[in-house]
Amino acid sequence: VTKIEAVIRPSSLEDVEEALQHAWITGLTVSEVKGHGRQKGHAEIFRGAEYVIDLNPKLKVEVVVPDPLVPRVLHQLERSLRSGKVGDGKIFVTRIEEAIRVRTGERGEGAL
Ligand SMILES: Nc1ncnc2c1ncn2[C@@H]1O[C@H](COP(=O)(O)OP(=O)(O)OP(=O)(O)O)[C@@H](O)[C@H]1O
Ligand SMILES: [Mg+2]
């Protein structure tokens, strides 16, 4: 069981949700977050003001999926997020120790 987290532009949410439906996911979590990447929160880096760091509003999309689905989910995320412009987002992949579906007590892939 693997967790895939994508930090995305808020305006990309609909496209991402639609793309993920093509990857057979069963659930997802979306959180409002703030962050910055290499441009330190600036659309352009202004000479002399590079030390000022802004935090831009982003959405974090988390999906926990069976391991065999990971390549498919990553493909769909990249496809729906890549515009080639700065700020297209970032994707992190983490191995999950355990997943529990509370209603049934199912564990692991069966819990998803
Ligand atoms: N190394 C990181 N660790 C944690 N969060 C990050 C990291 N890099 C980026 N993020 C999160 O992802 C968001 C989007 O990052 P972004 O796409 O701008 O990355 P980047 O490295 O600056 O690439 P680009 O040059 O294409 O903009 C950031 O606002 C931040 O919330
Ligand atoms: Mg950036």
Confidence of residue 40 (pLDDT cuts 50, 70, 90): confident
Cα 90 to averaged position of ligand 1 atoms, centre (Å): 6
**Sign of dihedral through CA atoms 62, 68, 71, 73?**
negative
User: pTM higher than 0.85, yes or no?
Assistant: yes
Ligand nearest, relative to CA of residue 34: 1
CA proximity to 25, closest of 59, 60, 76:
76
Distances (CA, A) of 44 to 6, 47, 53: 23, 9, 12
Please tell me what DSSP assigns to residue 92.
Answer: E
Task: Phi first, then psi: give them for residue 107, nearest 5 degrees.
Answer: -120, 155
Q: With cut-offs at 50, 70 and 90, classify the pLDDT of residue 48.
A: low
Residue 36 near residue 58 (C-beta atoms within 8 A): no
Q: Whose CA is nearest to atom 1 of ligand 1?
A: 37
Per-residue confidence (pLDDT) for residue 53, from 0 to 100 = 82
Q: Is 66 in the pocket of ligand 1 (CB under 6 A)?
A: no
Residue 6 has pLDDT above 70, yes or no: yes
Q: Give yes or no for residue 36 CB within 6 A of ligand 1.
A: yes
pLDDT in tens, 23-32: 999 999 999 9
